[in-house]
């Protein structure tokens, strides 16, 4: 749910303002109301430093060899500059190394020789020309007519030397020009560059632990300073700059500590309940299970203050849809075991929570795998003792189940929209949404008849919700307006409702397609693996390798589709029918650990 907010406005003497901000930052509960986006020189400089330290820390975190621990007495900024200079030097050396390798590759076919020898020959009247051409372009008659020595052949290119006196003959080949350095000199220079690069890498490996620790502390300190400097700019000057007025938001659940702080500091303040038009920040408060799904909600956007937090409503559906797309008992067990191992190794709380979410996805896969009768690509319905216990017996039933889940989620979304309209604007404004609920419910039951469901018991009564729903849609789509205008606009609204519903419900067919395709791929892997097991001697080994690879790939594809498609169904179909309103501003309390605004 969305936490209730209180708005506090503080009036301070300008000389007391800095001390007040420091203590408010220590409290770490108030979301400062922004009055300006102005950036002071100190703020800009602080941000640049933060970027530099963050980039350096990201670079250090990529270093794998972190066993060595070198001690440094350098100040933090000097250490940053030293690492920055070392990185720049390494980049320059790597560019030189690449250029040297290219030069060596060019002259390597000619081998090691001294350029002085060529100069001596030319000084004694013997011309020396170096050529290269495609081997099939080399004319054998050249060897008869001239003094030619073949040196080497590389990738179909022939390298040769022509010795002559007087003017050089014209050959249909490319003349080669040497660099100033010999191959030996270039190789020696390349070795020296490699040693210098290795020395820099050794320095990074030795300093990485100390530097990472120092930079993390410095980033934390700079982040606090940035938040303080930014907050100091949000105060509005009053009474010829003698007073500073600053406002903030705080969740009602934390208000008691703020009141205690106000009494201790004897602050002049005003408070009021948050209003939707003031656009208060959003803080979500859910139980431990629904809290796992909050990152998914935030991937889309936070709701407005007067809207509903849809996280608790979409969480069971999202979990169920993942299991539908990845319906296999064995795959679910693998996901659970994998997350248990990863949770034991991971220290970051957010990543641990994500692993817990994946564990629930694994549980859902096990449940839906049993419902559909699939385990490691094998059909459990083929086992006599289990076949009758499987709830879904064929693909037609899987198809119908996907549509049923779609109808349930869409109607659930419409019911949420109805309640929200009633809460925000009164009962009259919720009648149109309620009419939509009745109309969609009735035509869904009629549609179930086309899929083979017996609706004879309720069919005589379906006309009542249809007509009542149509009347509510036509007459109350905008209460207080001329009924004739409402009827005219109601026709357009009805068109959108019908076409929108059928468009939405068709999206849920993908659940059927993904669930069936995952089972088919598992079956194909098993079939190919069984054929490979018949290979003499090495057959069992190939069978195990192929089964591991094939099912791992199928699990990865199923997990990807099992996350992406429910994400689409949630954001497009469910949120739309629930009349979701956003984006809301995230609650970010002013503290020493405040995140720097991008």
**Which string of DSSP letters, residue by residue, matches 470-494?**
HHHHHHSSSTTS-HHHHHHHHHHHH
In a domain, 268, yes or no: no
Chain centre distance of CA 25: 31
Residue 125 is predicted with a pLDDT of 81
Eight-state DSSP code of residue 459: G
Same domain, 160 and 301: no
- The pLDDT value recorded for residue 416 is 94
**Structural domain count, the chain:** 2
CA dihedral 19, 25, 26, 29 (to 10 degrees): 130
Give 116 or 259, the one with higher predicted confidence: 259
Instruction: Give the residue numbers spanning the domain of 408.
Output: 294-375+391-577
- Arithmetic mean of pLDDT, 239-264: 91
For residue range 462-472, what is the model confidence (pLDDT) as tens digits? Answer: 889 889 988 88
Same domain, 307 and 177: no
Measure CA of the first residue to CA of the last residue in the chain; give whole Å: 27
Task: Report the alpha-carbon distance of residue 513 to residue 395 in Å, rounded.
Answer: 10
Residue 170 inside a domain? The answer is yes
Q: Of 148, 181, 214, which residue constitutes the final position of a domain?
A: 181
Q: What percentage of the chain exceeds 70 in pLDDT?
A: 97
Task: List, for residues 40-99, the tens digit of each pLDDT value.
Answer: 888 888 888 888 888 888 888 888 665 556 677 788 888 889 889 998 999 999 999 898
Q: What percent of the chain has pLDDT over 90?
A: 29
Residue 67 counted as domain residue: no
Q: Are residue 438 and residue 305 in the same domain, yes or no?
A: yes
Structural domain includes residue 583:
no
Say if residue 30's pLDDT is above 70. Answer: yes
- Mean pLDDT computed over 311-325: 93
Does residue 493 form part of some domain?
Answer: yes
**173-177, 268-272, 450-454: which has the minimum mean pLDDT?**
450-454
Q: Which of 151, 181, 211 lies at the terminal end of a domain, its last residue?
A: 181
Residue 585 included in any domain: no
Six-digit token pair at 519? 């089972």
Does position 536 have pLDDT exceeding 90, yes or no?
A: no
Write down the mean pLDDT value for the chain: 87
Task: Specify the pLDDT at position 459.
Answer: 82
pLDDT at 147: 86
Residue 1 contacts residue 285 (beta carbons within 8 Å): yes
| 596 confidence band (pLDDT: 50, 70, 90) | low
- Band (304; pLDDT cuts 50, 70, 90): very high
Residue 29 lies in a domain: no
Query: Domain boundary residue among 154, 181, 208?
Result: 181
Q: Angle 349-372/311-325 helices, nearest 10 degrees?
A: 50
The answer to whether the beta carbons of residues 289 and 363 sit under 8 Å apart is no
Q: Look up the pTM and report it.
A: 0.77
Give the mean model confidence (pLDDT) for residues 188-216.
87
Q: Answer whether residue 486 is part of any domain.
A: yes
Distance CA 12, CA 20 (A): 8
Residue 179 has pLDDT above 80, yes or no: no
pLDDT at 366 over 60: yes
User: Residue 110: what pLDDT?
Assistant: 81
Which residue is it, tokens 């970010």? 588
Say what the pLDDT of residue 70 is: 67
Contacts of residue 289, Cβ cutoff 8 Å, sequence gap at least 6: 315, 360
């Amino acid at each position: 749910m969305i936490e209730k907010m209180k708005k506090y406005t503080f009036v301070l003497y300008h000389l007391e303002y800095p001390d007040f901000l420091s203590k408010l930052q220590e409290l770490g509960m108030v979301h400062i109301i922004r009055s300006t986006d102005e950036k002071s020189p100190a703020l800009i400089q602080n941000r640049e430093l933060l970027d530099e330290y963050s980039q350096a820390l990201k670079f250090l975190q990529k270093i794998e060899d972190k066993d060595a621990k070198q001690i440094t007495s350098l100040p933090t900024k000097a250490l940053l500059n030293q690492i920055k200079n070392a990185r720049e030097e390494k980049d320059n050396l790597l560019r030189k190394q690449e250029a040297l390798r290219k030069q060596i590759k060019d002259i390597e076919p000619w081998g090691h020789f001294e350029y002085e020898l060529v100069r001596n020959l030319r000084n004694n009247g013997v011309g020396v020309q170096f050529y290269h051409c495609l081997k099939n372009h080399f004319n054998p008659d050249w060897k008869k007519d001239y003094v030619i020595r073949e040196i080497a052949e590389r990738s179909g290119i022939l390298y040769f030397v022509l010795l002559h006196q007087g003017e050089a003959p014209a050959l249909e080949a490319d003349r080669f020009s040497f660099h100033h350095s010999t191959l030996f000199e270039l190789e020696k220079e390349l070795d020296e560059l490699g040693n210098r690069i290795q020395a820099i890498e050794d320095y990074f490996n030795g300093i990485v632990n100390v530097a990472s620790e120092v930079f993390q502390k410095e980033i934390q300190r700079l982040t606090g300073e940035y938040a303080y400097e930014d907050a100091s700019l949000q105060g509005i000057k009053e009474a010829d700059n003698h007073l500073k007025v600053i406002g903030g938001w705080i969740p009602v659940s934390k208000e008691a500590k703020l009141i205690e702080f106000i009494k201790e500091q004897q602050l002049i303040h005003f408070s009021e309940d948050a209003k939707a038009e003031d656009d208060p920040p959003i803080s979500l408060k859910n139980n431990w299970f629904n809290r796992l799904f909050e990152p998914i909600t935030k991937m889309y956007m936070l709701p407005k203050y007067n809207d509903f937090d849809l996280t608790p409503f979409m969480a069971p559906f999202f979990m169920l849809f993942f299991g539908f797309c990845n319906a296999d008992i064995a795959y679910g067990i693998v996901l659970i075991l994998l997350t248990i191992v990863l949770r034991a190794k991971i220290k970051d709380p957010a990543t641990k929570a994500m692993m817990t979410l994946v564990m629930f996805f694994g549980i859902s896969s096990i449940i839906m795998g049993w419902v559909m009768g699939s385990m490691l690509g094998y059909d459990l319905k083929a086992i006599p003792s289990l076949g009758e216990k499987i709830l879904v017996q064929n693909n037609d039933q899987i198809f119908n189940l996907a549509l049923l889940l779609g109808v349930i989620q869409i109607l659930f979304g419409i019911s949420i929209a109805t309640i929200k309209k009633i809460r925000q604007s009164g009962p009259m404004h919720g009648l149109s949404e309620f009419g939509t609920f009745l109309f969609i419910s009735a035509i869904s039951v009629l549609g179930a008849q086309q899929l083979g469901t017996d609706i004879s018991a309720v069919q005589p009564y379906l006309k009542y919700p249809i007509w009542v729903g149509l009347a509510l849609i036509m007459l109350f789509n905008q209460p207080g307006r001329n009924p004739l205008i409402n009827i005219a606009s109601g026709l357009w609204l009805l068109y959108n409702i019908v076409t929108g519903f059928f468009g939405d419900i068709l999206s849920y067919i993908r659940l059927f397609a993904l669930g069936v395709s995952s089972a088919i791929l598992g079956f194909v892997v098993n079939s190919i693996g069984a054929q490979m097991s018949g290979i003499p001697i090495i057959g069992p080994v190939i069978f195990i390798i192929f089964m591991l690879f094939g099912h791992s790939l199928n699990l990865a594809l199923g997990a990807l589709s099992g996350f992406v498609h429910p994400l689409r169904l949630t954001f497009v179909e469910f949120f739309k029918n629930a009349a979701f309103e956003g984006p809301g501003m995230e609650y970010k309390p002013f503290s020493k650990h405040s995140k720097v605004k991008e």
